[in-house]
Structure 1
Amino acid sequence: MTTPVLASPTTGPDLVMTPRGNADVRGPANFEKSIVRGVLLANHAAHLGPDAGVLRGLYPDGVAHLWGATPCSVPGHEKTRAIAQRRAGDHLLVYAEKKIIARALIVHCLDNAPLARSVWGDTNGQTWQHIMALDEIELLDDVPAAGILRSLVRQDFLRSLVRRTHREYRSIAHLLPPHLSVIPAGRTRPGPDIPAQLGSEPVPTGPTRRTPQTGQRTVRNTARSERVRDHYKHTCQICGRSMRTATGHTSEGAHFRALEHDGPDHETNIGCLCAYCHTEYDAGGIYIDDDLVVRSGTTGKRERDLHVSRAHPIDRDHLRFHRAWFGLDTHPDVDPTRLKPGWPKP
């Protein structure tokens, strides 16, 4: 068992980068299986070893999000150093097909060949035994890897696990979508432009991907939320405020129909809100009617109008679902008998 050692809060997280791997080593399938969907710890209980308690504590729903690396026998090799130095608190970037396809927080590290073989099998007698347990997983769209790799590994591709310091990580931070969409003052984020019409891409069908257990972890596609927040320049569509930070302004992407209620991760279901309005909306303290009027959840009194750009269509059905969830409307996907006592009825 590797004792979790958190990255120093005074320096910031270091960075681990890993290739996803091609189909010949089952890279795409393993990425979908163990990072996106997660693996049931119960299915691998016989192989958890001394890390069983830690993993069950990290994943109380029983679904673990894991990634690993095969051993490196060359002393002093960059991969050997990365395996030895990786730690809880580092950030992980996953590389595939000239892009950075995911980012996550490493919350625990362990070396366990039987567990790795149980989860991923082995290739040519080797298995991904140097395991990293992950949280805060973000699937990334349209993040070119070339600039990041040239800066950090001096080449246009990534062949094996590498680790870089927090200072090196900070030097390429502007090439990545920022966490919580924090934009330094006076600078706009590089990357793809806002589409002419937000939500012009197809709406995903079916529920947003999540682990198939109680207490599910939803794996979000952050690019769509960032497009909406960028479009409104981090100004809340309800109250008009822009939350300030030490480095600029920030906002939150609010789903009108929550992801855990099978709302799509799509611009037509996402608003740009401040933390206060987001919390009130999620808790039913306010709701939005079909005329895009923001009303009190307890009195129905009009409070203000929702600011909506012409380039940002909002699906009214998601607003109706939210109202129905709090007993203020009806919706075919909401059973009115589930309403809590004391909630207003439709």
Structure 2
Amino acid sequence: MKQEFLLPDLGEGLAEAEVVQWLVAVGDTVTLNQTLAEVETAKAVVELPSPYEGTVSVLHAQAGETVEVGAPLIAFEVAGEEPSVPDAPTTGDAESALEEKAEPNLVGYGAAPSSRGRPARRARRVGVAVSDASAEEAVRAAAPHDAVATAVVDAPLERPRSTPPVRKYAKDQGVDLVLLSAEMATVDDPAPLITRRDVDAYLARISERSTAARDTTPVERTPQAPLPSGERMTRIPIRGVRKHTAEAMVRSAFTAPHVTTFHTVDVTDTMALIASLRADRTLSEHRIGPLAVVAKAVCLTLPQYPGLNAFWDESAGEIVQNHFVDLGIAAATDRGLIVPVIREAQSLSLPAMADALRVLA
């Protein structure tokens, strides 16, 4: 007797699945609940167990093909004869006839159809009122990585210390007093009083840096190691879960609010390294600072995590991984926030990276 196995509903709202691989072939003898194939839906890769015991006669889809829910997936030859059309059962025999004709039901695919009785309803759970204070504590306990010290949260944000005339003068000159205050701050005086003389000195330093940047010779780049394939990009076709994930992330960029997280990092060793580099007379002209070290660290880390140096090509349905680093540096200017780019940053040494940053500044 021939039995067709239709692709079951593998989850709410899933209309299709892709056959990843078959674990059986035509002519194989299978047992009940033996795994037949792996299929991939928009949510997960699922193993399909056999609802019959018999011999595989037909595979209706090949690996890589997409099958709609309810469409034939595989056919079996099982023991027994084709069922004859029975006479209409009496009312009293309807339930017993239904039980005799019930096909094997797979775990997780829902209960087999039955007309006996009504489905039991779950008892309602009475909600417990939670105060605002306890709710806040529950959120902090559930997400400790997002929780911050209460003293920091409650601390008011103070603007830099200065007089109104100085603030107006700095605004007219395009000077951000927050940056100037951070530059002037010391351990003994974390919030210094900013005067007009401090603003003029800051403008003079900026002018000197701009003049030096214009006189800087072009940055020398170290030779870039050739890629094994000779290509600058790797294209990775995606389907199934990753395809739906990519589409959802693209939609979320326009429909969902985004969150920025800040982390406190111990950079004691990094600052010691920078101090030693600045003390080296052969490197004194390169002005290596924390930003150059961080930029170089990004270039060294991205090859280890190529997924971070990639973009989604929606038209081709592919993830494109770059084998080069065009490093963007966000800069606050009078024209607003701009992101100038250091091309082929992965080929720069640390001193060359510092020079490139100085040219951009």
Tell whether the structures are fold-level matches, with TM greater than 0.5.
no
Structure with bigger gyration radius: 2
TM-score, normalisation: structure 1 = 0.21
TM-score, normalisation: structure 2 = 0.20
Structure (1 or 2) with the greater helix fraction? 2
